[in-house]
Amino acid sequence: MHSRVSVVGGGVAGLSLAALLGRDMDVKLFEEHKVVGYPKHCTGVVSSETFKLFKNMLFEPPTLASSREVEIHAGSKSLLINLSKNPVYVLDRQLFEERLLDSAVSAGVEVKLGVRVRSFKTSPNGVTLIAGSREESFNSITIAEGAAGRLSKSLGCPGGEVIYGVNYLARVGECIEAKIHAFFTKSTPGLFAWFVPIGGEAIIGYGGGLIQRDKLLNYIAKHAGVKLGGVVESYGGLINIAKPCSPIHCDERIYLTGDSAALNKPLTGGGLYAIARLTPVLAGAIKSGESSSLIKAFKVLEKRHRVQLNARRALMALGGLHVGAEALARSIEARELIEAWDFDHHEEAILRFIKHPAKALSILQQFLSAVLFRAGL
């Protein structure tokens, strides 16, 4: 059993893991910033499933809003996804991280804020971290450093596509529906743009392309049918779209989690689902020194990612994700797929269609016309 362990990174992945480990182990967490939750980068949209996983793991995550409808816009078409049974939640990311920090501290974790881990070296008994101006040894470490992957790269994790995502927090000049909009456009071939209402404000953002701010805001205002006030805040960050990296390295002396293991969903970039799913299993493996459950859970996730990643590559080869979205929006058969939409398991919808050649053919025809008639931002 590991006795003294460290977590590098105080985002959702690192803090939630530390909070679980701290109950039974001597844990030290390093976060390079002086506060958690800043700088902001994430929109915080999660499914009911992810919300419940976090709730069962530690506590109910604080939210800014919830939504029972997502409207997908692609070209001149749109598709409404009804999520009345399983609403989507917008987490208050900053407050969530602050509460995770409280949980970790209450569990006895020693938290070092404002200390960056610069490098590490392994020894037969564990791992030595070079943090700030000091060296410190641990039986094992978990790297939860996010998408930049400065430390995880040295573990030979395969790289992949890196997307830059931007968010603008804007005032909304009127009372609006609690409906999330996703816009698939030729300006964002690698992802999409979004409009996420949170009371009198909205998070408007995009990833996988480049859009000038005012052009984005005008486009969204027109297509979401809202009047926008001024931009209050802007922020963003990197999203890793890659084959996930194994969570276990150097004979269980080093573990990887969260965005540093590229656990983001390849078709949306969302990373919180995988964190919610894997963290309790990872904590169990670190506590017991027995990794079979972690390997099994990771393989399930890896298999799902493979299907999504292949679908993504095929769409990118056709011109971008908007081509697929447009085909779905045009196809009557797609309605069935959308009805069975699962926010976290896009591969299930993809596999369902592959099993029905007639439907797949119909969507393929729409793909071809979407390639020919591309529209959008």
Helix H or strand E encompassing 300: helix 292-318
CB of 136 to ligand FAD, least distance (A): 13
CB of 54 to ligand FAD, least distance (A): 11
CB of 275 to ligand FAD, least distance (A): 6
Structure tokens, 144: 């939860």
Span from 57-65, 231-239, 283-291, 340-348 in contact with ligand FAD (CB under 6 A) = 231-239
Tell me if residue 23 falls in helix, strand or coil: coil
The residue assigned the tokens 């003294």 is 4
Among 205, 208, 209, 324, binds ligand FAD (CB under 6 A): 205
Write out the DSSP string of 320-370: -HHHHHHHHHH-SHHHHHHHT--TT-HHHHHHHHHT-HHHHHHHHHHHHHH
Show contacts with ligand FAD in window 266-325 (CB under 6 A). Answer: 269-273
Span from 18-26, 232-240, 351-359, 361-369 in contact with ligand FAD (CB under 6 A) = 232-240
Instruction: Give whichever of 9 and 189 is closer to ligand FAD, judged by the CB atom.
Output: 9
CB of 91 to ligand FAD, least distance (A): 8
On whether the CB atoms of residues 115 and 32 are closer than 8 A, the answer is yes
Compute the residue count for the chain.
377
Write out the DSSP string of 96-158: HHHHHHHHHHHTT-EEEET--EEEEEEETTEEEEEETTEEEEESEEEE---TT-TTGGGGT--
- Taking alpha carbons only, the member of 263, 256, 341, 270 closest to residue 305 is 263
CB of 43 to ligand FAD, least distance (A): 4
Show contacts with ligand FAD in window 96-135 (CB under 6 A). Answer: 116-117
CA distance 118 to 157: 18
**354: CB partners within 8 A, 6+ apart:** 360
Contact pattern from residue 5 through residue 34 relative to ligand FAD, giving x for each residue in contact according to CB under 6 A and a dash for the rest: ---xxxxxxx---------------xxxx-
CB of 82 to ligand FAD, least distance (A): 20
CB of 34 to ligand FAD, least distance (A): 10
Q: Could you give the C-alpha distances from 127 to 23, 120, 250, in angstroms and in order?
A: 22, 7, 10
Tell me if residue 15 falls in helix, strand or coil: helix
Q: Please state the φ and ψ torsions of residue 47, each to the nearest 5 degrees.
A: -80, 170
Show contacts with ligand FAD in window 339-358 (CB under 6 A). Answer: none
CA distance 280 to 16: 9
Instruction: Give whichever of 201 and 366 is closer to ligand FAD, judged by the CB atom.
Output: 201
Contact pattern from residue 242 through residue 271 relative to ligand FAD, giving x for each residue in contact according to CB under 6 A and a dash for the rest: ----------------xx----x----xxx
Contact pattern from residue 166 through residue 185 relative to ligand FAD, giving x for each residue in contact according to CB under 6 A and a dash for the rest: -x------------------
Q: Examine residue 43 and tell whether it contacts ligand FAD (CB under 6 A).
A: yes
Show contacts with ligand FAD in window 137-166 (CB under 6 A). Answer: 144-147, 150-151, 165
Catalog residues that contact ligand FAD under the rule CB under 6 A: 8-14, 30-33, 41-46, 116-117, 144-147, 150-151, 165, 167, 205, 207, 236-237, 239, 258-259, 264, 269-273
